[in-house]
Structure formats: C-alpha cells, structure tokens
Amino acid sequence: MTLKRPHAIAAGHPETATAAAQILQQGGNAYDAILAAMMMSFVAEPLLASPGGGGFLLAAGPGQEPKLLDFFSDTPLLPVSQIDPEAVDFYPIMGDFGTRQQEFHIGRAAAAVPGVPAGIFTLHDKLCSMDLPDIAAPAIQAAQQGLVVNHQQAYVAMILKPIIEASAEARTLFSGLVSGQQWRNLQLAEFLTTLSSSTADWFYQGPVAATVCQQEQGLLTAADFAQYRCDIRQPLQLSINQHTLYTNPLPSSGGYLIVEQLRRLKSRHDELAVLEAMQHADDLKRHRMAEVCRGTTHISVADQDGNLASLTLSNGEGNGHVVGDYGFMMNNFLGEEDINPDGFFAWSEPQRLRSMMSPTVIMHPERQFAMGTGGSNRIKSALFQVINHLVHGGQILKHAIEAPRMHFENGHLDVEPGFAAPALKAMQKQCPIHTEWRNHNLYFGGVNAVQTGTTTAAVADFRRHGCGMVV
C-alpha cells in the first residue's frame, strides 16, 4: 500500500492557498489545485495576476517526466515598421515605491497577446483530473461574494494608482481595493463561469478577442489571438549533491541565470562566493537577456501522491484598460523596459517574450521541493540563494527562505539585515557600492515553496505576506 502524504500549498494570498486546499480535499491532484489557485489569484491578487497576462508552470512527480508549460505572451504580428509610437495608445506613468520611483508605459498598445487562458486549457487537458467548472468554483464564488482586501493588495494598488485610475472603467472596477474593504468582481465571476464551460476558442476566437481587437489605438489583431499556443518545453536541468534541479529553459532567461550562478559556486558556498556568482550572472544578463515585469505572484503545490506544481504568473502592471465587461485588465508587457531590451516596438519578428520568471522543482531521494518567486530581476538572486541554502547548506525550508538576502545589479549591492559582521565586511570589500537595508523587504522577492517526501512543509515568504499551509 502506498503511503499517502499531507498536501502542501504556498501562495501569495490566503484565499489563493485556500482555493487549492479546497480542491485537494475534494480529491483533486496538485494540478487541479494549482489551477484553482491560479483562478483565485485573479480575484484575490487582481493587479498581479489576470486572464490578460502570462506565466509558466513546471510539473513533476512520480511516474512522469518534468515538463514546463510556457504560456507567456507573444509580440503582435503587426510589423514594427508599420507602428507609429505617436499614433497609438502608449505613454509613461510613474509608480511610487516609497524610496524609489519607476517609470512604466501603459495604454492599449502596451498589451502583448495574453497567454493565461491557453495555459488554463492546456494544463487542464494534460494534467488535471477534475472537471474545469468544479475547479473554477472557488474563484467564481469569491468573485461573487467578495473578499476583504488585505494590506498587501492595498499596497500594490497604491503603487499602481496611476494605472488603475488611467481609464473610467479601471477606476470603477478597482476603486474598492482599500485595506479592510470588501471587494467584489461580478464581471470576473461571469467571465470565469463562461470560460470554464467553454474551450480556448471562446477566448481566442470569440467575443473576448474581438473586444480587445476592436479597441482603438492598440496593436493586437484577430490573427494574433488565433495563432497563440501554449508551448510545452523540456525544463533546464542541473544535478547538485544528489539533488536534481528543473527550471524554466530558454528562451526565458531566469532559469539559465540561476543555473549559471549555482555552477559558478563550485566548491565554495559562503556569502562572498554567492556575491561573486551574482556578479557573474549580472554580466551574463547584459547580453540581450531580458527580465520580468514587477507585477508577479507565485504558487507552489505538492499533493499526497508526490506530484509537484510550481506556477509563476504576471500581468505586468496592467495597461490601464479593462477588457469589455469581463472584469480584468490586459498586460502591459510591451511597455516594460526590462523585457524589451532593444527598446519599445523593436522586435525583429513575432516572438515569445522572454522572462525572468523561474518556477522550479528540486528532486532528491528523500525530499522534493517546488518553489518560485516574484520580484523582477531579483528572481534570479532570490531563488539562487534559497536553493544554495537547501542543497549546500542543508537548511530546512523555513530557514532557507527566511535567511537574509543580497542582490547585485549594475555594480550596486543591496543587502538585507542579518548577515554576520565578517561576511558583511568581505562583501563590502568586494563591492564598495552598496546599500544596507534596515528591514527585510519585498524588494528581495517572495519565495513561496513546498516540500514533500520524508517531511512535508509549506513556507510562504514573510516579505510578501504570503500563506503556506499543510492540509
């Protein structure tokens, strides 16, 4: 008789994790659960995840080869020579992060082809065991009844205020994202009800695509939607100390940079070696390698049979325009400097956009992990440090995630509090230009991870007020 293990879930919001738990308790597998959590994230984390965005899912477990579902966004088919930036809806706004401000570009022309719905149907077709309407039920109910807005989502709304106030429809839809208030999204509930009872064609060749394509001063056409497909890729693989790591392969850059940092460590795993590996990755990143947008969330699930699912989603910051009466905003990936390294509207041919998002699975004879994080270009450094603590430091999952982090970029080192004085002195000598943060901060990512095997654990990063639960 096969011994059943507890389920484990880690997500960016308690309701996102609870949706996965409900499905697992109904007999669903890890993939049913993570799909339910994905759709709940549209309700509970609406400025980070959306049907108008894109993402990646890494699946692994007993009796199956690990696989990576790539449903990130495509650039439009329209030749760039025919795009007049002055004639389309595309303009800059500033996001206020307190001590830092950052420019984003939004508008209808900032939207790339959305991949999330294709990811939903591909995941359901390939790996799920339950009917899609049953998987969608928790999210539909939450959208109808409403959720109390927590501090984290209210903070995101404050940062992105210029975006959610960019159009009358967006102001109406997102006006209730205030901490402590009940927020409902009846339009999204109806959208999810119809989507879960339909096929991908309803979205990509039906009324939703038509609504987007009819918007003036945008770039997407019916042909963009009709040809979009979720790609299934073989994950990038690395063996370390009896651990086998699987992560997001090229054309995305995050997994490649994480693997290169781990390879760079060789026989040294101390803080200075970690910094040197980060400096190496920063050099590699400059060679036309892209980074992911900031509006990102991550979900990890392990079920009682040992199946692992790791999912990272993004909507960028949103493009400021709600799609018809469907209750969600399109992405602004074409307005992200990080994932357009050659400049805006400068792709040479239609292509899948690159990303730093890196859902990851680690397999070991006694323990297995699923993990990932949001955090823009900090994704590669946050995951690298957590993995180093697990496979070289032998730390338990909770300590690996809660350990202080550093991040090196463009000659500048950011350091969280908590490093020992000798290590900090050595890092400062290696990199004189640095900032010592007074507190742990979401700037350094939000790693949400689960563990199964001889021990079951679920840890959501305190830096982003996530939720981990063992069911």
pLDDT, tens digit, for every residue of 130-182? 999 999 999 999 999 999 999 989 988 988 899 999 999 999 999 989 999 99
**Which positions are annotated as active-site residues?**
296
- Is residue 291's pLDDT more than 70? no
Q: Pick the residue with more confidence: 93 or 15?
A: 15
* Full-model pTM: 0.94
Q: Backbone dihedral region of 370: left (phi > 0), alpha (psi from -120 to 50 degrees) or beta?
A: beta
Percent over 70 (pLDDT), the chain? 96
- Predicted local confidence at residue 283, as pLDDT: 86
Whole-angstrom Cα Rg for the chain: 21
pLDDT band at 347 (very low <50, low <70, confident <90, very high): confident
Q: Which of 376, 42, 52 is nearest to 218 (CA)?
A: 52
Q: Tell me, yes or no, whether 50 lies in a domain.
A: yes
- The residue with tokens 């919001």 is 13
- Is residue 239's pLDDT more than 50? yes
Q: Pick the residue with more confidence: 347 or 182?
A: 182
Q: Tell me, yes or no, whether 2 lies in a domain.
A: no
Q: What is the CATH number of the domain that holds 276?
A: 3.60.20.40
- Is residue 293's pLDDT more than 50? no
Q: Pick the residue with more confidence: 377 or 210?
A: 210
Q: Tell me, yes or no, whether 276 lies in a domain.
A: yes
CA distance 319 to 52: 10
Q: Tell me, yes or no, whether 378 lies in a domain.
A: yes
- Predicted local confidence at residue 5, as pLDDT: 82
pLDDT band at 3 (very low <50, low <70, confident <90, very high): low
> Which are the contacts of 217, defined by CB distance < 8 A and separation ≥ 6?
87, 88, 89, 107, 108, 109
Q: Tell me, yes or no, whether 458 lies in a domain.
A: yes
pLDDT band at 392 (very low <50, low <70, confident <90, very high): very high
Domain around 449:
8-470
Q: How many domains does the chain have?
A: 1
pLDDT band at 442 (very low <50, low <70, confident <90, very high): confident
- Predicted local confidence at residue 286, as pLDDT: 63
Q: Tell me, yes or no, whether 3 lies in a domain.
A: no
Percent over 90 (pLDDT), the chain? 79
Q: Backbone dihedral region of 224: left (phi > 0), alpha (psi from -120 to 50 degrees) or beta?
A: alpha
